[in-house]
A and B are shown apart, each in its own frame.
Chain A
Amino acid sequence: MNVRGWFGSIYKRLLHIHKASDAPDRYLALRRNITVIMLLVTILPLGIMAGINHFQYRKSIKNEVIEPLRVLLGKSRHSFQLFLEERLSTVRFVGSAYSYEQLTHERTLSRVFRVLKDEFDGFVDIGLIDGSGVQVSYAGPYNLLDKDYSGQSWFQEVVIRDTYISDVFMGYRKFPHLAIAVQRVEESRNWILRATIDTNLFYELISAMGLDPEADAFIVNQEGILQTRSRFYGDILEEIPFDLSAQTYGPHLMETVDPQGREVMVAYVGLEKPSFRLVVVKPRALVLRTWITLQGEMFFVFFVSVIVIIVIVMKLADALVTNIKEADDRREAAIHELEQTQKLSAIGRLAAGVAHEINNPLSIINEKSGLMKDLLAFSGDFAKKERFEQLVDGVIRSVGRCKTITHRLLGFARRKEVYFEELNLNALIKDVIGFLEKEMVYRNIDLRFQTADEMPAISSDQGQLQQVFLNIMTNALGAVDDGGRVIVTTWEEDPKTVGVSIQDNGPGMSEETIQRVFDPFFTTKKSGGTGLGLFITYGIVKKLGGDIKVHSKEGEGATFTVYLPKTAKQGEASSPEEIS
């Protein structure tokens, strides 16, 4: 599946929710899905970015903090090397400067030893050993003359390699020291000069490194035996708890957990001769303090961002779904209204067609019965003449009722022709009131006409508007009892619309009646109502681009409100003929 198809299917699954499903659930699901998608597309990249940053920063910061450690190790190694080299070459120099015979003299050796002690710190003693391993001359605090070293491993080694530096040992001297031995090979014999050095001097070198109190530095031999005292990991000649098996000459770094449970960074370098290792142990937290602070800040920013995103996304989704829901509701209402209009149009078209067809035979019935009446009038008396006259009158009355219906239906169909002209709405309503004045006076009805001072002229169809207001007012008069009240009000609704309300204090309408009040042939009048008045009125108002609303409660009268556009605007609800 290609990318587009893939996105399409995701989109469909997440956002295309069937309308058939239960509406509230549908919007809940939509909101949930929008929220999930938006969170995914925001937090996922943010998380990936944060992750990449995290590793990148850690890498570069580690390099930054570790580099000084390397430099420090390098320098310190150099100091240690120098210290040992110095002493080794001094011993070598003594071996070269003096002959075997000279050094066998106790006095000469003692003098050399004194000079050494004065010039270099750390010399404990010095001895001359002949080729067979027997110490032939000695200067120092112990009595080691004639001691035989031939069986010891260091002796074998110095014979083979010419120089030897031992590991640190306590020996009989009971303090840490190491031995340096140099072999001189002459034509007749070989001999060995051996000096012992106090390794307490190492501590000066270590303290010169200037480490934090939480850090530790020490020297171990190849087997991991401490050559200097460690602050945290044991005394001299004890084994350290780290595995430093990696064979490196250059600085090597590892992270581990020490026996105290601290996370530590162990850095070490190898010394050339002897094969010691200089080790620095620092708590990880100390080394990476900057990094940990930065990491904390990054986490904080990430966390806050995520919370802000979640809040915003949820609010957005909420607003979005609310808007969608409102749009759906509006659309549904519009569809409902359109259905209503179409229903009325279809009925209207049918009714008008029927009316037209009926009108002609109705005319004939009218004339025939009229003729019958004429003939009755012109003929002399005969049996049951009066009865005949009554019957004919009945026919003519019925034709009259039919005529009212057909004319109204035809009038509805006629709505197609709309003539827009500038007109004064107040004057038009006054005219309509004029038509009804007689009835109102007769029935003692209180009609009040309340008008806005400045009513703008509107563009509409005079004749049809007259019919609209005549219909509504006739209904209002029909609704109120004698002595009742009808209030007609006009006002400017907004810059584009004017409103006219006709309020009566009649019995009002039930909810059911309001629902059907604009349906054709629906009437509540007990006698004579065709049920077409408001149906036609509704059609005309829609045709003129306006709207009509009913507000009523049983026992509280009814208010019909007509809204009309100020400027000519063909209503979307066309006349019946135009809808097919």
Chain B
Amino acid sequence: MTQMNLLLVDDETEFVTTLAERLELRGMTVRTAGDGEAALPMVEDDPPDIIVLDLMMPGIGGMETLKRIKASHGDIPVILLTGRGSTKEGIEGMRLGAFDYMMKPINLDQLLRKLEEAAEKVDE
């Protein structure tokens, strides 16, 4: 679990930076991106182990970002965050290849569990 290389993508800077700090406190390497357009080159340059991706973002949006990531780096697990409380979006994302989804506000322990599961999956 340690030395995990994460990419957090969310337009809500306050949220994403705070979450990054919390995860870093737990020994992870975390980078953040404000939208899909910023995230995609970061994935290209240095593919992270796991991506946490918000679905509601300006620009190309979460769902499109997910599609593009899956197209170029299909093996990176993506955990989706949704602020709408909608199961439908989560399910749609999982159909597109996302590893799992969570509803905001998130429970950090849950997120950590999912990250661990995703990491195990990558190791397999």
The residue that A364 contacts in the complex, of B18, B87, B108, with Cβ under 8 A, is B18
User: Residues of A contacting B103 with CB < 8 Å?
Assistant: 407
Contact with A along B86-104 (1 / 0, CB 8 A): 1110000000000000011
Chain B residues with CB under 8 A of A362: 104-105
Interface pair A363/B12, CB less than 8 Å apart: yes
Counting chain A CB atoms within 10 Å of each CB, the highest count among B21, B84, B86 belongs to B84
B25 within 8 A of A: yes
From B108, which residue of chain A is reached at the shortest CB distance?
Answer: A370
State the Cβ distance, B90 to closest chain A Cβ, in Å.
Answer: 11
Chain A 347-380 interface 0/1 with B at a Cβ cutoff of 8 Å (1 = within): 0000000011001101111111011001100100
Choose among B25, B83, B108 the residue that contacts A359 (Cβ–Cβ < 8 A): B83
Cβ of B74 within 8 Å of any chain A Cβ, yes or no, is no
A367-B22, A371-B22 known; A360-B108 Cβ under 8 A = no
Closest to A378 in B: B25
Q: Does A501 contact B (CB under 8 A)?
A: no
Contact A414 B86 (CB under 8 A): yes
Q: Which residues of A contact B87 (CB under 8 A)?
A: 414, 463
Closest residue on chain B to residue A357 by CB atoms? B83
Q: CA–CA, A73 to B85, complex, Å?
A: 115
A363 touches B15 (CB 8 A): yes
Question: Nearest A residue to B18 by beta-carbon distance?
Answer: A367
Question: Does A50 count as interface, using CB distance less than 8 angstroms?
Answer: no
Contacts of A417 in B (CB 8 A): 88
Q: Does A403 contact B (CB under 8 A)?
A: yes
CA distance A578 to B97 in the complex (A): 31
Inter-chain CA distance A362–B103, complex, in Å, is: 12
Verify if A406 is at the interface (C-beta below 8 Å from B).
Answer: yes
- List the B side residues contacting A250 at CB < 8 Å: none
A370 and B108 CA atoms in complex are apart in Å by 8
CA distance A427 to B111 in the complex (A): 32
Measured CB to CB, the nearest residue on chain B to A368 is B18
Q: For chain A, what secondary structure do more than half of its interface residues adopt (helix, strand, loop), or is it mixed? A: helix
- The reply to whether B104 and A359 contact each other, CB–CB distance below 8 Å, is yes
Contact in complex: A374, B25 (CB < 8 Å): yes
Task: Tell which of A359, A365, A367, A409 has the most Cβ of chain B within 10 Å.
Answer: A367
Give the distance in Å from the alpha carbon of A399 to the alpha carbon of B106 in the complex. Answer: 11
Which B residues, 3 to 18, have Cβ-Cβ distances below 8 Å to chain A? 12, 14-15, 18
Are B18 and A407 touching (Cβ within 8 A)? Answer: no
Contact with B along A374-398 (1 / 0, CB 8 A): 1100100000000000000000000
| Contact residue among A365, A374, A407 (Cβ-Cβ distance under 8 Å from B85) | A407
Report B20 CB to chain A, min CB distance, Å: 9
On chain A, the residues within 8 Å of B25 by CB distance are: 371, 374-375, 378
User: What is the chain B residue whose CB lies nearest that of A407?
Assistant: B85
Complex: how many Å from CA A360 to CA B106? 11
Q: Are B18 and A360 in contact (CB under 8 A)?
A: no
What are the residues of chain A within 8 A of B21 when measuring CB–CB?
Answer: 371
Q: How far is the CA of A463 from the CA of B105 in the complex (A)?
A: 22
A365 to B12, CA, bound (A): 12
Q: Which residues of B contact A406 (CB under 8 A)?
A: 85
Given contacts A362-B104, A411-B85, 20 further A-B pairs with CB under 8 A are A356-B83, A356-B84, A359-B85, A359-B104, A360-B15, A362-B105, A363-B106, A364-B12, A364-B14, A364-B15, A364-B18, A367-B19, A368-B18, A371-B18, A378-B25, A409-B85, A410-B86, A413-B85, A417-B88, A463-B87
Q: List 11 A-B contacts (CB under 8 A).
A: A355-B85, A359-B84, A360-B12, A360-B83, A360-B104, A363-B83, A366-B106, A367-B19, A367-B105, A403-B105, A407-B103
Leading 6 A-B pairs by shortest Cβ distance: A410-B85, A366-B105, A367-B18, A363-B105, A363-B104, A364-B14
Taking Cβ atoms with an 8 Å cutoff, the residues of B that contact A are 12, 14-15, 18-19, 21-22, 25, 83-88, 103-106, 108
